[in-house]
Amino acid sequence: MPVDAKSPRVGLMVTCLVDLMRPAVGFATVRLLEQAGCTVVVPEQTCCGQPAWNSGERAAAADLAKAMIRAFADCDYVVAPSGSCAGMVRLHYPELFKDDPEWGPKAHHLARRTHELTSFLVDVLGVERVEARYDGHVTYHDSCSGLRELGVKEQPRRLLAGVEGLRLTELPEAEVCCGFGGTFCVKYPEISAKMVSDKAAAVAATGADTLLAGDMGCLMNMAGRLHRLGSPVAVRHVAEILAGELSAPPIGGGKS
Amino acid sequence: MIPASHAFKERARAAMADPDLTRALTKFKTGFPLKRAQAVAALPEFEALRDEGKRIKDHALAHLDLYLERFEAKVTAAGGQVHWARTPAEARAAILSICRAAGARMVTKGKSMVSEEVGLNAALEEAGLEVVETDLGEYIIQIRKEAPSHIIAPALHLSKEQVAEDFRRVHTHLDPARSLSEPSDLLTEARVLLREKFLAADVGITGANFLIAETGSTVIVTNEGNGDLTQSLPRVHVVLTSIEKVVPTLEDASTLLRLLARSATGQELSTYTTFSTGPRRPDDLDGPEQFHVVLLDNGRSALLGTEMQEALRCIRCGACMNHCPVYHAVGGHAYGWVYPGPIGAVIDPALIGLEEARHLPNASTFCGRCESVCPVRIPLPRLMRLWREKEAAARLSPGPQRWGLGLWAFLARRPGLYRLTTRLGMGLLGTMGGRRGRFRYLPLAGGWTGARDFPAPTGRTFQDLYRESQRARP
């Protein structure tokens, strides 16, 4: 199926955390994709299977991956507001089915078409600038999977640079893990707590009033720790700022 | 060394409550990565060198039998002797018998992690030998009766004040008025004491970073020169190392040396790189009369031909632990065995058993920083995940963890039921979260809420809201 360059059909892989915890990120993603000229579809979906895959439960991960491969079969591209879930599809689906003559090629086909949101906008669609305004002093945490599996580093910064009113201060040790790690944070909560405490201290050192990142897991972890420490820093997904989708209060921030 | 990896959680908790350790790790966690980054930036071909390093080790491992036999033949031709040890017990026995045959009373040692792996010091001391570690860090932990907490910086966990205290306790000749406040004071004190030992030793034991098949040479790198004195002054030199250290040629070893120090300490080369080939020849001015190489397997050969073989490429630079946020949080002793950090999480289960070491491959966020700096591109997170697969298959992980994941997977496989359950669950949590928008405590999520609030969901799922908005669209 040839890709309509002007209006590609993009499947939103919303990710289970955004679906359940923070729909605003999903709507922000839809808006950004539509603004960039995409036709967005949202197939029925549950989870990409990463928790099972990282827990050594290959069979469960394979079942969930097959459901995803089926759900997005007719999309030109698949986009996720998460480096971790996009990384799961791009890198780990092919590995999961590497010895499977039927699903292996399908997994590769989906992997090639799947992208993290900011990387899709910048690297695939060539978006230079988004129309948005945010009067705030922000800092940005690079989520590990996006950074090291997919090379997401400059893309969100380039888009944020075009947001009116926004000032960015780089986070010290921005490339160090926040301690979320999926099931890690419940299996080793004390180590995770130490890591996220270090991250919270780094955030405080920037003097920023807003912390952004591209993955809900990391964001919930960092927001949870910052709130526990009584920090006033607002935590949001980068898509919310880029889309000007600020109707929801910051993560864990209560209803105003 | 008796493994204590099963107690990883308790050991990690104790480590994080230790202020001296936390201080040491805080300094360490930025220092080493910065030095590596500078060294890498100064060498444009570094990434290509990593590919070459991987290729060399993959080739050597694919033909390990051939190169080991060639190595042995060359060692023998040079007048040395190779001893094969399948187990730690065989390695200890081989070295003990070399010491006895030489009538040895004192043994000096260069740094060797394989020596820790086989518990050599305890065995030699039990046999009545005096054993002295000559690497400063190793010497410090020897007098403290501790294990190394890092494979290249064994006393990383200690402050100089702690070391001064230990020296005053053990070196009873010390004048109480003498200052030991500077690192150089400590170094001088150790150096004077160790010099006597170097001269008195009958046997010198070192490890090896590489074994070279074409020449029968062993290679060590040090920054203190202690390895050279350990191996050239005594009558007998014993190299204790493991089988996967062999590479085909001198050229291969030099390629790997270019990767090793840069990855480890950010140096271009370690201060001393020493090649040993056989005992002293008739015309040599110095050197040992006997040259022995003890080659340990201890489970390594069982990894050959499996996906885990990639771990055997390791050249023991320590870059993975230098960059690991979990290691930075808990330090090396928490891991409970010889090799800590990401590489330990991959090889320890193979060497001491998955049941003992099951925590290690689990105690990772899969942040991937280790893999991104590994000089021989070992896919450490992938190999940890493979251990988790073996663990899941053997049902070694705690029941509640498996049941929780099982329940989640059961639902996620059934979209209709998943939709219904999550709709109810998120609605409930959203309402309970109320105006505050977060929970300070949640049943069954005590691990999370122990240190952080749990952000409440907004209440309705994206998929429900999205379908609703689509129906409302004209």
Residue A169 placed within a domain:
yes
Q: At residue B380, does pLDDT exceed 90? A: yes
CB-based contact, B415 to chain A, within 8 Å: yes
Record the tokens describing residue B389, joined without a space. 């697969």
Q: Reduce the DSSP state of residue B80 to 3 states and report it.
A: coil
pLDDT value for B95:
98
- Do A112 and A25 lie in one domain? The reply is yes
Q: Which of B366, B386, B462 sits opposite A181 (nearest CB)?
A: B366
Interchain CB distance below 8 Å, B362 and A253: no
Q: What digits encode the pLDDT tens for the residues B156-173?
A: 999 999 999 999 999 988
CA-nearest residue to B460 within chain A is A20
* Domain annotation covers residue A145: yes
- Sheet with A39-41: strands ordered across: A39-41, A9-12, A77-80, A114-116
Whether A207 maps to a domain, the answer reads yes
Supply the pLDDT for residue A2.
Answer: 58
B473 in A contact zone (CB under 8 Å)? no
Range of the domain at A171: 133-243
Residue B154 has pLDDT above 80, yes or no: yes
Is the model's pLDDT at A17 over the cut of 70?
yes
Banded pLDDT at A255 (limits 50, 70, 90) = low
Tell me whether residues B437 and A180 touch, CB distance under 8 A: no
Residue A168 lies in a domain: yes
β-partners of residue B107 are B131, B203
Out of B362, B409, B456, name the one closest to residue A57 (CB).
B409
User: Quick one: pLDDT band at residue B436, thresholds 50, 70, 90?
Assistant: confident
Q: What digits encode the pLDDT tens for the residues B247-301?
A: 999 999 999 999 999 999 999 999 999 999 999 999 999 999 999 999 999 999 9
Residues 6 or more apart whose CB falls under 8 angstroms from that of B251 comprise none
Cβ-defined contact of B426 to A26 (cutoff 8 Å)? no
Q: pTM score, two decimals?
A: 0.96
A86 domain-assigned: yes
Backbone angles phi, psi at B126, to 5 degrees: -60, -30
Q: Does A46 sit within 8 Å of B418, measured CB to CB?
A: yes
Nearest CA of chain B to the CA of A16: how many Å? Answer: 9
pLDDT at B474 over 80: no
Considering only B1-15, B411-425, B435-449, which range has the smallest mean pLDDT?
B435-449
Q: Measured between CB atoms, does B25 come within 8 Å of chain A?
A: no
Q: Which chain A residues contact residue B458 at CB under 8 A?
A: 21-24, 248
Measured between beta carbons, the chain A residues lying within 8 angstroms of B367 are 144, 148, 176-177, 181
Q: Which among A53, A187, A251 is the nearest to B401, CB-wise?
A: A187
Cβ distance B364 to A196 less than 8 Å, yes or no, reads no
The pLDDT value recorded for residue A254 is: 77
Question: pLDDT-derived band of residue B450, with 50, 70 and 90 as boundaries?
Answer: very high
Please give the CATH topology (third level) of the domain spanning B43-298. Rossmann fold (3.40.50)
pLDDT for position A13: 98
What integer is the mean pLDDT of A178-194? 96
Residues B391, A56: C-beta atoms closer than 8 Å: yes
**Domain co-membership, A163 together with A111:** no
Letter for the amino acid at B469? S
B168 touches chain A (CB under 8 A): no
Report the percent of chain A where pLDDT is more than 90. Answer: 96
**How many angstroms away from the CA of B329 is the closest CA of chain A?**
7
* Across A12-21, B332-341, B382-391, B464-473, least confident range: B464-473
CB contact B445 to A (< 8 Å):
yes
Q: How far apart are CA B277 and CA B274, in angstroms?
A: 10
| Shortest CA gap B436–chain A (Å) | 4
Q: Domain ranges for chain B, please list them.
A: 43-298, 315-393, 401-472
CB contact set of B405 (below 8 Å; sequence gap of 6+): A51, A52, A55, A57, A60, A183
- CATH of residue A189: 3.40.50.11810
pLDDT tier at A212 (50, 70, 90 boundaries)?
Answer: very high
* pLDDT band at B434; cut points 50, 70, 90: confident
Q: CB–CB of A21 and B422 under 8 A?
A: no
| Backbone phi, psi, residue B144, to 5° | -90, -5
CA distance B443 to chain A (A): 13
C-beta of residue B271 within 8 angstroms of C-beta of residue B209:
no
- A151 and A94 co-located in one domain: no
Mean pLDDT of A110-123: 98
Q: State whether A67 and A91 are in the same domain.
A: yes
